[in-house]
Amino acid sequence: MNHLIAPSLLSADFGNLKHEIELINRSSADWFHLDIMDGVFVPNISFGFPVISYINKYAEKPLDVHLMIVQPERYIKDFKNAGADILSVHYEAVTHLHRTVYAIKNEGMKAGVVLNPHTNVMLLEDIIKDVDLVLLMSVNPGFGGQKFIENTYVKIEKLKELIISSNSKALIEVDGGVNLENAGNLVKAGADVLVAGNAIFKSGDILQTIDEMKKV
């Protein structure tokens, strides 16, 4: 499978959001990545349902929603109603992960699990067959524009082995500090989906950067 690109709108110009969405529609990107932060799970607050619904109104590609919130199971239906196609919850934020994964799937969405940089991929051994996607954080979540953590490559390789040996269909997504310099190595290591915020929206030429990231 060719790798997918998911631009993170956190780094978009919110004063021109409609224009940014239309650019991504026209680009070779595959998904819209939306970062939802509650100021409790992470030390930052981003945006909520009215903004997601607005993005959904104009976006012509799937919405990949990354929840950085405590008790995400309380809001699964609300994210579905706002337009989420893929809903990912943090391993560190959920007590009953199996129940939450199936609650997401029962709403007709793809279910993802996110791991913080310190969380061992082998903790997913008993859930890997049930999830559609694993999102590996390659920075500590909360902010765009941070430095990529190199240990992520080893985690991708370990996760890939776990997925293959378990006969799982889960995609591997990488998020944080992804740019044109490391994108090729991440794909080589086994990443299926690359999230990028700053590297795309602050690049000066959004369409060309996405094209280049798609071709690595």
Q: How far is the CB of 14 from Zn ion (least distance, A)?
A: 16
Rounded to a whole number of angstroms, the minimum distance from the CB of residue 126 to ligand DX5 is 25
Q: Which helix (H) or strand (E) holds 21?
A: helix 17-26
- Catalytic site residue 78? no
Q: With CB under 6 A as the contact rule, which of the stretches 73-81, 124-132, 142-150, 152-160 interacts with ligand DX5?
A: 142-150
Give the active site residue among 38, 64, 132, 175. Answer: 175
- How are strands ordered across the β-sheet holding 32-37? 4-7, 193-196, 171-175, 133-137, 110-115, 86-90, 63-68, 32-37
CA angle 9, 2, 164 (to 5 degrees): 105
At closest approach, how far in Å is the CB of 73 from ligand DX5?
20
Residue 3's binding partner out of ligand DX5, Zn ion, none, with CB under 5 to 8 Å set by partner kind:
none
The CA distances from residue 75 to 48, 65, 100, in Å, are 11, 12, 11
- 138 neighbors 116 (Cβ within 8 angstroms): no
Query: Which of positions 13-72 make contact with ligand DX5 (CB under 6 A)?
Result: 33, 35, 66
Q: Binding residue for Zn ion (CB under 5 A) from 3, 66, 90, 155? A: 66
Torsion of CA 74, 141, 211, 79, to 10 degrees: 10
Does residue 112 belong to the site contacting ligand DX5 (CB under 6 A)? no
Binding site for ligand DX5 (CB under 6 A): 8, 10-11, 33, 35, 66, 139, 141-146, 175-178, 195-199
Residues labelled as active-site residues = 35, 175
